[in-house]
């Protein structure tokens, strides 16, 4: 963390809110300006031929780092905690996932991936990793220490995502990490839902912790960004993979990431509080069979969530009691404050239908009714609840007008 003068780490004991405000800044290196300038850069000039040949300079080339990328990497490293050796920035969350898996796997290896993983993570495993001779086994997300039974001699990595971003199973990550490490396999986590503000991934045994910065780091639905926090054992291979594949982030996107990070704590607190209010309200609705939100006492993973997490975000799902698809679509179409769209983590509320039943392979997923995922944004909760009331009225009308098939 920078100090007021920019002279180094004066804030080892600072709380996360303080870190979010100060991390990665060095005003004295920038004429006193609070924020790091946005360097639009490719070529960097050397003073003479000898310096060029010897690469005698702090930076080398835009793709390999600028003061802008360094500031964001350092800020995220600070937030990820003391076990973070360094951070890589990628052009999207999915790019962060693919670069990370490619950094720890090689032809002939086997990877264990949670059955609840973000669907494009699965597609990556089933296409590119397969093509490069890497085999994937999908495991039941709540398997815990039972994952030992699935390890093979060539298992080099275990991929976790807790909770799953559609189905919200909570994983026992310390137990999985203990088994993986005893087998010399690394643990890779998609930690986008909780972020390091609410789940200290590296301290819980994760070796490489990924965030889609597109979500709460950006926070405004106008940015694509991925981050990977690596521990000491995994950093060199990750750095090599990112460098050799030529992956980098545009300067304006890094600026948006840095700007978003400064307010991430207060936004996340509001998303969490509003999300829990809306989830509890939905839980009491007669149309709803179950709410899939780990912060609710009714959630099967609640005890582990309470043990390992310090908070939630604004993303959760519901299972309707059996109802025709037309009724669910009528519900969604009637909402005016909840947009229908991919992604989440922005200031605005969203609601999307989904169906994981054809996707799961470890164990059939049978929720008992149609499913919808909500992202609760920064709007006033009373307005959101009124909007949902309108949705339920349209749902009732559509359900009534069909034969339930
Ligand atoms: C849990 C999770 N991980 C990763 C990603 C991918 O992030 P990006 O959209 O930045 O590629 C998403 C995107 O929706 C996500 O929900």
> pLDDT tens digits, residue range 102-119?
999 999 999 999 999 999
Q: What is the pLDDT of residues 26-50, one digit of tens each?
A: 999 999 999 999 999 999 999 999 9
The answer to whether 171 and 199 have CB atoms below 8 angstroms apart is no
Is the pLDDT at 5 greater than 70? The verdict is no
Which own/partner contact pairs does 237-243 have at CB distance under 8 Å and 24+ positions apart?
237/103, 237/104, 238/88, 238/99, 238/100, 238/103, 238/208, 239/86, 239/88, 240/103, 241/99, 241/102, 241/103, 242/88, 242/90, 242/99, 242/103, 243/64
CA–CA separation, 217 vs 158, rounded Å?
25
* Ligand 1, atom nearest to 192 Cα: 1
Is the pLDDT at 364 greater than 60? The verdict is yes
Lowest mean pLDDT among 9-23, 69-83, 91-105: 9-23
pLDDT at 405: 43
pLDDT at 291: 98
Is the pLDDT at 389 greater than 90? The verdict is yes
pLDDT at 402: 61
Average pLDDT over residues 315-324: 98
Please choose, from the candidates 306, 313, 302, 290, the residue with its C-alpha nearest in 3D space to the C-alpha of residue 377. 313
Probe ligand 1: pick from 160, 195, 343, 374, max atoms within 8 Å of CB? 343
Rounded percentage of the chain residues whose pLDDT exceeds 90: 95
Strand partners, 158: 112, 187
Q: Which two tokens stand for residue 55?
A: 């690469």
Alpha carbon of 93 to ligand 1 centroid (Å): 5
pLDDT at 245: 98
Query: Which protein residues are within 6 Å of ligand 1, measured from CB?
Result: 92-94, 118, 165, 190, 192, 212, 214, 224, 226, 343
Q: What is the pLDDT of residues 194-214, one digit of tens each?
A: 999 999 999 999 999 999 999
**Band (183; pLDDT cuts 50, 70, 90):** very high
Rounded percentage of the chain residues whose pLDDT exceeds 70: 96
Average pLDDT over residues 326-352: 98
Whole-number mean pLDDT of the chain?
96
Per DSSP, the residues of 293-341 read -TTSTTSTTHHHHHHH-S---SEEEEEESS--HHHHHHHHHH-SSSB--
Alpha carbon of 178 to ligand 1 centroid (Å): 26
Q: Residues with catalytic annotation?
A: 63, 118, 190, 215
404: left (phi over 0), alpha (psi -120 to 50) or beta: left
Whole-prediction pTM value?
0.96
Alpha carbon of 221 to ligand 1 centroid (Å): 12
Is the pLDDT at 400 greater than 90? The verdict is no
């Amino acid at each position: 963390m920078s100090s007021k003068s920019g002279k180094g780490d004066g804030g080892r004991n600072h709380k996360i809110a303080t870190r979010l405000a100060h991390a990665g800044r060095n005003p004295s290196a920038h004429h006193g300006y609070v924020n790091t300038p946005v360097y639009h850069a490719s070529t960097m000039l050397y003073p003479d031929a000898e310096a060029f040949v010897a690469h005698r300079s702090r930076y080398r080339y835009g793709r390999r780092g600028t003061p802008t990328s360094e500031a964001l990497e350092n800020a995220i490293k600070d937030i990820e905690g003391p076990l973070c050796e360094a951070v890589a920035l990628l052009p999207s969350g999915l790019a962060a996932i693919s670069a990370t898996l490619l950094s720890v796997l090689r032809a002939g290896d086997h990877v264990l991936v949670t059955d609840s993983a973000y669907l494009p993570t699965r597609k990556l495993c089933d296409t590119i990793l397969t093509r490069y001779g890497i085999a994937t086994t999908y495991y039941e997300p709540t398997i815990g220490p039972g994952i030992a039974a699935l390890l093979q001699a060539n298992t080099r990595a275990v991929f976790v995502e807790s909770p799953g971003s559609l189905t919200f199973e909570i994983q026992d990550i310390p137990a999985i990490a203990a088994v993986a490490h005893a087998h010399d396999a690394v643990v890779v986590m998609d930690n986008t839902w909780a972020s390091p503000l609410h789940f200290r991934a590296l301290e819980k045994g994760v070796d490489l912790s990924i965030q889609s910065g597109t979500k709460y780091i950006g926070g405004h639905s106008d940015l694509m960004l991925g981050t990977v926090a690596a521990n000491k054992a995994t950093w060199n291979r990750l750095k090599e993979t990112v460098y050799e594949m030529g992956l980098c982030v545009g300067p304006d996107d890094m600026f948006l990431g840095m700007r978003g990070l400064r307010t991430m704590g207060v936004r996340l607190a509001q998303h969490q509080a509003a999300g829990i209010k809306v989830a509890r309200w939905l839980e009491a609705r007669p149309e709803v069979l179950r709410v899939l939100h780990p912060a609710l006492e009714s959630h099967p993973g609640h005890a582990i969530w309470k043990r390992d997490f310090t908070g939630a975000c604004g993303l959760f799902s519901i299972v309707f009691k059996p109802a025709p698809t037309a009724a669910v679509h009528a519900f969604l179409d009637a909402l005016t404050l909840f947009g229908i769209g991919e992604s989440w983590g922005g200031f605005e509320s969203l609601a999307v239908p989904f169906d994981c039943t054809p996707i799961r392979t470890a164990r059939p997923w049978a929720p008992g009714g149609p499913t919808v995922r909500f992202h609760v944004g920064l709007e006033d909760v009373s307005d959101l609840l009124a909007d949902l009331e309108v949705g339920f009225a349209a749902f009732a009308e559509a359900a009534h007008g069909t034969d339930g098939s």
